[in-house]
Amino acid sequence: MSTLQAPFETAVANSKSLTERPDNSTLLKIYGLYKQATVGDNSEKKPGFSDMVGRAKWEAWDSFKGTDAEAAMQQYIDLIESLS
């Protein structure tokens, strides 16, 4: 088990109680890092143009392709700490 697992889980919990709602690009980055850290590289089919939210989330996750789980966890932790 990763030594970052506990701090990552704390950051996930903290992400739900931020004092201010982050802008959409930051929310997408949070989503992408979370998915990369917990699932790995995006292998899902890219949503069509009519699903703008799904497509934005897919692209956010896909932008971290090749990042290992530990690095994604650390980036996620750092990002949430910077927003807290």
pLDDT given at position 1: 54
pLDDT tens digits for range 50-68: 999 999 999 999 999 999 9
CATH architecture of 5-83: Up-down Bundle (1.20)
Please give the pLDDT value at position 29. Answer: 97
pLDDT attached to residue 63: 97
Surface-to-core class of residue 49, CB atoms within 10 Å of its CB (0-12 exposed, 13-18 middle, 19+ buried): exposed
pLDDT score, position 4: 92
pLDDT under 50 in the chain at which residues?
none
Give residue 69's pLDDT.
95
pLDDT at residue 84, as a whole number: 85
